Each structure stands twice: as C-alpha cells, then as structure tokens.
Chain A
C-alpha cells in the first residue's frame, strides 16, 4: 500500500509529465504560448467591433423590442451636410493638438533622458500627477485667461494698449488644439522617453566624428531612430483628439465649433428622448476607416524596424549631453509648460474648491471663500467609488502590460505572417470612440453573455479597460522592443533558450523601463477613465471619475474641485513612490 505522500508525488509527476506533453505538443505545432494571452484578447476586440458594426445597422435602442435593422443611421449621417464641417473641424483640432503635444512632450522627454538637466527626476512625478487633472479644469482655466470677453490676459492687454477689442481668443480650432495639446503632452512625453532612454550613443559618436552639426544629427540620426516612437505617439494622440469631449464641449461649443465628439453628443439626443447609439456607431465606421489608414502607415514603419534597432549586445550606455549655460533656459521652457498645463489648472482647481459658486478670480470673490465644498463632499459615495477605482487601478495595468507585451513580442519579434494584422487589432480599440466601445460592451454583457454575471460588475469594467489600454501598451512596448537588436535573442537561442525563456530573460529585462512606466501610466489612465465608466456603471461598480464628472456636469464645480484636490493629495505620495521605484530599476539596469 502506497502512502499518501507517494500517491501525491506520483500524481504530481503525472501532471508534470502531462504538462511537458502539452508544451511539447505546442512546440510540435509551433504554437507560441503567448497566443494564449493574445488570442482571447483578439477575440474580445473582434467581438466588440463586430457588435459596434452591428449596432450601426440598428435603428432604435439596441436590444429593446423597438429596435430594428435599418440603414437609416448611415443615411442620416451622410445626408447631413454639416458632417463635412464637423470632419474638417475635427481634423484641424486633432492636428493642432498633436503638434502641441509632440512639441512639448518630445522636447521635455529629450531634456530628461538625454541631458544632464539637474532635478529632472521631479519632472516624472509632476507629469504623472498632472495627468490626473481633469481636462475640463484646464479648459475652463484657459477660458478665464484668453476668452475675448472675460479673459484676464485680454483685459490686461486692452487696458495697456487701449485696444477696443480682445486681441487674443482661445475659442477657435488652434486655441482648442493648444489646450488639448497641453493636456496630452504628458502622454507624448511618456511614449517617447523610452526611445530616448535606450538610444545607442555609438551612432551619435559616429556622426560627431564625421563633423555633423546638432541639426544634421537631429535630421539624420535622432529623427530616424525616433521615428517609430514618434509615429506611434502622434497616431495615438491624434486619435485621442478625435474622440475627446472636454475641450470641444467647453471651448468649442462656446463658439459653435463642432467636432466629432460634440456632434455625436448632439446627434445622440433624439426626438424619442432616448439615446441614439446607432448613429454614433455609424459615425464610428468613419473613424475605423481612418484608423485603418493610420495603422497601415504605422505597419510600414514597423516593417522597417530593423533600421531602428539600437540596443545591441555590444554594450550600450546612453550618452548624456551637457547643458551647461543652457540649463537655465531649458528649465525656463519646462517651467513655462508646467505653469501653463499644470499650475494654472491646479490653481483654478483650488480656487473653484473654495467658492460657493463659480466666478472669475477677483478681490470680491476672494472675500467669499470658504471650505464648505469640502464639508459637502458625499463621503459614503466617495468611499464606494474610491475602492472600485483603486482595485481597477491595480488590476487593469497589470493585465494590460502582460497582454500588450504578448502582442508586441509577436508583432515585433516574430515572423508570424499576419503580425501586422495583429498590431492593427491592438490599435483598433483606440480608434473606435470610447462611447461606442462602451455601448458595444454593454450590449454584449447584457444580451450576448446573459448567463454570465458580467453586467454591473468590476470584472466587466476591468476587461473593457484592458482592451482600451491595449493600444497604449502596445505602442509603448512596440517602440521599446524595436530598439532591442535581434543579436541578443539569437545569442540566447544559440545557448538553448526557448522562445518564452528569451522573452522572459532577455527581452523583458531590457524593456523593463518601458514596462514599468507603461504600468504606472496605464494605472493613472485607468484611474481617470470616464467615458467607458459612464456607459457601463451601475451602483455596484461606480468609479471615482463618474462621481466627479456627475457632480461637475450638474454645475457643482466647487464640490467636484474639492474631490479632485483630495484625490490628487491622496495620490501624490503614491506617484512619487512609483517613480522612485521606476528610476531605481532604470539605474540598476
């Protein structure tokens, strides 16, 4: 009679043998285990997109008895001549936003990663914290500065020069792009720092030896090396701008400039007094077509990725440029950015939190400040939503980073025939406006997966958030992986390492900085995610941004500001801890 331990050992051996059998079977079938991470995600993305496409052919509220198939959504959309104006406005706004975000984001990333700028580690922390500032505060802040009627700067200029009309205006496409670009600079920064951090100095040294000026190096060395990262962040920011609502709603509508999001907002309010998601889905088809074009261009850049491999096994150590007397002006430039994009909205936040009703800064208003808004905060609601947000903030980035790594590894490091198609799938969630993505997920959870208790759960929010973050994660990791030369993998493979071992022991450590910063930023982006949450929330899974937005949109700016301030204060130490850990890891590597 065998003892229990022996039985257990035998069972374990059988299991291990069975496990090895599976692994061998996969090897024989040449199935990369990463497919088990990537495959389900592809299915979810395809499922959601097909749902959205399906909804675009439904007139009436999807899933309800009145809903029926029709091409009316497309007819209504394309028969409306105003759509052309909307598309042109959206294009102008998105271009302006992308230019502003890249100008500040890439410049600051360069100074932080490639120069000896003193105190630069603080920039990470401020950038991270700044992303939590709701976009509507920034938009309101700029109205107070540059509105033709109430803009403080305009008033000063008019008082000084005697002008009878305001010389500056924020209520145009350029102004909107300026405000939104400042909001998205942090994203451009984080999406390009990884590329700068791991840039091979040998190429720069070679250029310097051959007498190249800084301008020539910028054009011939840095530019091409940075191209994948730049293209990725430009496309990412461009597509965010297409769907963003805050700035177009606050600044654009105030001068009747409609962009995609505000047009969709007005279109979805129907004669039937119920939201019309069909027309939104139809509009999304346009956006998906645009995404196809962008993804096609991006795939072209990725195909030439061997040109951008700069981290080789021959040893690399990024060279830091000495700023010398330029230190002051560089800090001045960065300081100006912080002042415009972080300090001013933050001051406005503080100002609004102290007021009983919203009013521009003045001595009269100063006399009436109080802490009443802090006392009026709905604490039980905040506790409930705060817990949900905290859980999502930890789980979503962890899953998103793991899955993104799987996607990026297959796209950048394998010869899989349809890897560009895979990358396209990873990009699609970002191209489809969040509102319609949320509606698709709502529809699937309610009507397709009826037997699974997904609807109203944190799990549903988690899955949709992970899908939504996938584009960001893969853009970041694509750029990082592209720069790691194949030599390193080949060396590991020659030494007998398996594909998984190479990914885990060679590639993952090299791209660890990108993984860490990706995790942190996806955590912050998850914390501030609003559009998806407003579609999918129920009392059980309500999140903090939904509470803040709901309070803000009902006109209670003071309470919304107070909550945001408390949130920022709570997260400030956490963000610093994240970055200390991140910087420590980078130094170790």
Chain B
C-alpha cells in the first residue's frame, strides 16, 4: 500500500517536472509512460559504458545523472564504467545479445560507421524517439529507428601551434606532402578520415590511394586517435588526419598548444549515435536518457562534456563553427549511418589505405 502511494507520488512528481520542461502533450504522455514502465519494472540504475574521454567519461556521467533526475524527478543512479574502444564494446554487446545475456551498457555509443553496421543487425531496439520530443526529428533519427544522432563532429588536421604557425598550417590536403614535414607527420593506423575525404568533389578512391602512397613517404609514425598529446609534446608536428575538432577543443581548454584546420578541399561531418540495445537492463530509463540528451539542457551538457553537440538542433553551440566553414565556401559533406551503409566500398578503401600507410617507404 505504502509502495503504491510512493509510486503515485513519484508519477505526480514526474508530471510536475514535465510541467517545468514544456513539451507537447503527446511527448509528455510518452515520457510519462516510460517513467511508469521504468518504475513498474524496477529500473533504478542505468548502466553506461564507453571510453573515458567520450561524452566526458565518468565526470560527464555525473552531469548527465544530475540532469536526468532533475528533468524527470527521479532518483536514478547512473553507473558508469569506462570501456574499451567503440568497436570492442559494440562487439561485446552483440555477443551478449546472441548469448541471451544482459548488455554491459544500456545506451550504446557509436559513430556512423558503427551504426551503419548495426542497422543491418538486430542488436538495437527500434524505437520511435520522435514520440518523446519535438526536437527529435527525422533529421536526427538513425536509420530504422535504432537510435538518434546525439552530436556531430568534423575532422581536419591537428597541429602543434608552438612549432607550426597558423600561416604555415596546411590549407589543402596536398600541403601535407611538403618535404619540410617529412618524418614529422603522424597519421592513424586505421587511416582515419581519408576514406571520407575521397567522397568530396575532386577526389575519388583511386586518387586517394595515390595520394596516400605519397603521404606515406612523409609520415613519420602512426598514433591512435586518443594520442593527440603526442602532437602537444612535439613528438610529431601535426596529425593528418585528426579524429575530430572536439578533441582538440577539449585539449585547448586545458591550455594545450594545439590548432585544428579544416582543409579547403572540404570536410565531412560525422555523427555520434546513441541507441538502446535489445538486451538492455533498463531500456525505459535508457530511452528517457536519450531524450534528455536531445533536450536543450541535455545538449548543453553534451557540449560541456564533449565540446560538441548536434549542429542541427536549436541552440547548438557547435553550429556557429560549422557556419564559419560554410561561409568560407568549404565543401561540407554529411556522412551518416545510412550513407555508410550505402557506400560499402568506402570501408574497403579505408582498409586499403591503412595497408599503404603501415609500410615505410
């Protein structure tokens, strides 16, 4: 009896909180249903697992937890566990599902590459997130409703501003072939982003292969995406290509002497997706969590945690940077999960490029 009263109070509390965050009646009703379903199924803990730097890691999870409970009037505990790389976590959740075990994470973080693969598998729970908020539109939905785009990012060249002046920094991709950079440039073992640049006007897969063969002569070594501090240290003067301007902004905020340049050749916008695995322990809380992240306040937390947000959502802080590129007539191509799924040849290209880069010439 007492439990029922407390439950009613919680629902009333949640509804009052929803009053404070104006949403449409349909959305409020759907959110209310999710809150009630979470309560009914005893979902009180939300397990999250992704890389420590992604979305602010454990510190970011605390911020999300505070906003979640404030937004829905709940007392949910966010249990964050830092995980390995995105492919490893996705592989693990896929295997857990196949074995009939609960997922290690209730919300699965991945880029368009991962969600492009996931849309062909039955790992993620299809759900119409549009019902939760007017902010979640077709534009931000993942194909087959398996998740939403929660943030966007663009990648260029990362350089050490103490060694390379902004004037010296490459303006076009061909500038990295300048002999003065020979042996001083780092790239990634997986040839990140080059397969995307190949999609831009004036490029193409064969031309990119030729370019990477030349670049391989200038590359001094290979470092992983999380190692841009090796550019800060001066071990390499620049990284071609980097893995996202957000990573540079996070380091710049600490005072690191890093610069980031989007090339005149063009830039490709990539996406971070969040979705709920079929075998999530707390699927209702997970959906509410995603809805929270897409709210205006949620996007502010996403930006605070990750120095990026979704450029297409009203109030985006990152949209201004993107507008700057467009104003400079830099061609911008959006590569989302559907695009990845429609262009399987780009994956093969990426593989071929990494094979070229690994050989010393």
A residues neighboring B (CB under 8 Å):
61-66, 82, 143-144, 147, 149-150, 171, 249, 253-256, 258, 262, 265-266, 269-275, 277, 356-360, 368, 376, 378, 380-381, 442-443, 446-447, 450, 455-456, 534-535, 537-539, 542, 546-547, 550-551, 553-557
User: How many angstroms from the CA of A455 to the CA of B80 in the assembled complex?
Assistant: 19
24 contacts between A and B (CB under 8 A): A63-B95, A82-B355, A254-B186, A254-B222, A254-B235, A256-B221, A256-B359, A258-B358, A270-B87, A270-B351, A271-B348, A272-B347, A273-B90, A275-B91, A357-B256, A359-B233, A380-B58, A442-B92, A447-B98, A534-B88, A542-B82, A551-B52, A553-B226, A554-B51
Q: Are A554 and B359 in contact (CB under 8 A)?
A: no
Q: Are B220 and A255 in contact (CB under 8 A)?
A: yes
B100 partner residues in chain A, CB cutoff 8 A:
450
Given contacts A61-B94, A269-B190, contact A555 B228 (CB under 8 A): yes
B247 within 8 A of partner (CB): yes
B331 within 8 A of partner (CB): no
Q: Are B235 and A555 in contact (CB under 8 A)?
A: no
B234 partner residues in chain A, CB cutoff 8 A:
149-150, 360
In the complex formed, the residue of A with least CB distance to B186 is A254
Digit string of B211-246 for contact with A (CB within 8 Å is 1, else 0)?
A: 000000001111110111110111110000000000
By the criterion of a CB under 8 Å from any partner CB, how many residues of chain B are at the interface? 72
From B14-22, B112-120, B200-208, B290-298, the one touching the partner chain is B112-120
In the complex formed, the residue of A with least CB distance to B103 is A538
User: How many angstroms from the CA of A556 to the CA of B116 in the assembled complex?
Assistant: 29
In the complex formed, the residue of B with least CB distance to A272 is B117
User: How many angstroms from the CA of A554 to the CA of B86 in the assembled complex?
Assistant: 12
In the complex formed, the residue of B with least CB distance to A271 is B347
In the complex formed, the residue of A with least CB distance to B114 is A273
User: How many angstroms from the CA of A547 to the CA of B82 in the assembled complex?
Assistant: 6
B111: min CB distance to chain A, Å: 8
Q: Which of B80, B90, B220, B344 contacts A274 (CB 8 A)?
A: B90
Given contacts A274-B90, A378-B58, contact A555 B247 (CB under 8 A): yes
Q: Are A273 and B58 in contact (CB under 8 A)?
A: no
Q: Are A256 and B81 in contact (CB under 8 A)?
A: no
Q: Are B354 and A266 in contact (CB under 8 A)?
A: yes
B59 partner residues in chain A, CB cutoff 8 A:
376, 378
A150 partner residues in chain B, CB cutoff 8 A:
233-235
Q: Are B53 and A266 in contact (CB under 8 A)?
A: no
A357 partner residues in chain B, CB cutoff 8 A:
229, 232, 251, 254-256
Q: Are B99 and A446 in contact (CB under 8 A)?
A: yes
User: How many angstroms from the CA of A144 to the CA of B233 in the assembled complex?
Assistant: 9
Q: Which of B80, B97, B229, B350 contacts A555 (CB 8 A)?
A: B229
User: How many angstroms from the CA of A251 to the CA of B90 in the assembled complex?
Assistant: 28
User: How many angstroms from the CA of A275 to the CA of B94 in the assembled complex?
Assistant: 11
Q: Are A147 and B82 in contact (CB under 8 A)?
A: no
User: How many angstroms from the CA of A74 to the CA of B113 in the assembled complex?
Assistant: 26
- For the A-B complex, the count of residue pairs with Cβ-Cβ distances under 8 Å equals 177
Q: Which of B49, B57, B235, B358 contacts A551 (CB 8 A)?
A: B57
Given contacts A150-B233, A358-B233, contact A271 B351 (CB under 8 A): yes
In the complex formed, the residue of B with least CB distance to A448 is B99
User: How many angstroms from the CA of A143 to the CA of B233 in the assembled complex?
Assistant: 10
User: How many angstroms from the CA of A358 to the CA of B235 in the assembled complex?
Assistant: 12
User: How many angstroms from the CA of A272 to the CA of B114 in the assembled complex?
Assistant: 8
Q: Are A143 and B87 in contact (CB under 8 A)?
A: no
Q: Which of B79, B101, B222 contacts A455 (CB 8 A)?
A: B101
Q: Are B95 and A61 in contact (CB under 8 A)?
A: yes
The listed residue with most A CB atoms (<10 A of its CB), out of B94, B190, B251, is B94
Extra contacts besides A447-B98, A539-B47, A554-B53 (10): CB < 8 Å: A256-B360, A273-B90, A360-B233, A378-B58, A380-B58, A450-B99, A450-B100, A534-B88, A550-B84, A553-B226
A559: min CB distance to chain B, Å: 8
B96 within 8 A of partner (CB): yes
B198: min CB distance to chain A, Å: 15
B82 partner residues in chain A, CB cutoff 8 A:
381, 542, 546-547, 550-551, 554
Q: Are B91 and A274 in contact (CB under 8 A)?
A: yes
Q: Are A266 and B190 in contact (CB under 8 A)?
A: yes
User: How many angstroms from the CA of A434 to the CA of B167 in the assembled complex?
Assistant: 47
Q: Are B104 and A539 in contact (CB under 8 A)?
A: yes
Tell me the B304-361 residues at the A interface (CB within 8 Å): 344, 347-348, 350-351, 354-355, 357-360
Tell me the B1-55 residues at the A interface (CB within 8 Å): 47, 49, 51-54
A266 partner residues in chain B, CB cutoff 8 A:
189-190, 354, 358
The listed residue with most B CB atoms (<10 A of its CB), out of A171, A265, A378, is A378
B229 partner residues in chain A, CB cutoff 8 A:
357-358, 555, 557
Q: Are A82 and B359 in contact (CB under 8 A)?
A: yes
A450 partner residues in chain B, CB cutoff 8 A:
99-100
A268: min CB distance to chain B, Å: 8
B13: min CB distance to chain A, Å: 26
B94 partner residues in chain A, CB cutoff 8 A:
61, 64, 274
User: How many angstroms from the CA of A446 to the CA of B59 in the assembled complex?
Assistant: 31
Given contacts A356-B255, A553-B226, A554-B53, contact A63 B233 (CB under 8 A): no
Q: Which of A378, A547, A554 contacts B54 (CB 8 A)?
A: A554
B121 within 8 A of partner (CB): yes
B113 partner residues in chain A, CB cutoff 8 A:
273
The listed residue with most B CB atoms (<10 A of its CB), out of A82, A255, A265, A266, is A266
User: How many angstroms from the CA of A380 to the CA of B90 in the assembled complex?
Assistant: 25
B327: min CB distance to chain A, Å: 30
B246: min CB distance to chain A, Å: 12
Q: Are B221 and A555 in contact (CB under 8 A)?
A: no
Given contacts A149-B184, A547-B82, contact A356 B51 (CB under 8 A): no
Q: Are A550 and B121 in contact (CB under 8 A)?
A: no
B73 within 8 A of partner (CB): no
B126 within 8 A of partner (CB): no
B98 partner residues in chain A, CB cutoff 8 A:
63-65, 446-447
User: How many angstroms from the CA of A72 to the CA of B91 in the assembled complex?
Assistant: 19
5 shortest A-B CB distances, which residue pairs?
A554-B53, A550-B82, A271-B347, A254-B221, A446-B99
In the complex formed, the residue of A with least CB distance to B351 is A271
Q: Are B101 and A456 in contact (CB under 8 A)?
A: yes
User: How many angstroms from the CA of A275 to the CA of B247 in the assembled complex?
Assistant: 24
User: How many angstroms from the CA of A137 to the CA of B227 in the assembled complex?
Assistant: 13
B27: min CB distance to chain A, Å: 30
User: How many angstroms from the CA of A456 to the CA of B251 in the assembled complex?
Assistant: 34
A356 partner residues in chain B, CB cutoff 8 A:
254-255
B91: min CB distance to chain A, Å: 4
A380 partner residues in chain B, CB cutoff 8 A:
58
A556 partner residues in chain B, CB cutoff 8 A:
52-53, 57
User: How many angstroms from the CA of A181 to the CA of B62 in the assembled complex?
Assistant: 41
In the complex formed, the residue of B with least CB distance to A85 is B359
Q: Which of B52, B81, B186, B189 contacts A554 (CB 8 A)?
A: B52
User: How many angstroms from the CA of A380 to the CA of B226 in the assembled complex?
Assistant: 24
In the complex formed, the residue of B with least CB distance to A380 is B58
A62 partner residues in chain B, CB cutoff 8 A:
95
User: How many angstroms from the CA of A542 to the CA of B48 in the assembled complex?
Assistant: 13
A539 partner residues in chain B, CB cutoff 8 A:
47, 49, 79, 81, 104
B254 partner residues in chain A, CB cutoff 8 A:
356-357
Q: Are B79 and A273 in contact (CB under 8 A)?
A: no
B236 partner residues in chain A, CB cutoff 8 A:
254
Given contacts A61-B94, A143-B235, A553-B51, contact A275 B99 (CB under 8 A): no
Given contacts A62-B95, A360-B233, A557-B229, contact A171 B81 (CB under 8 A): no
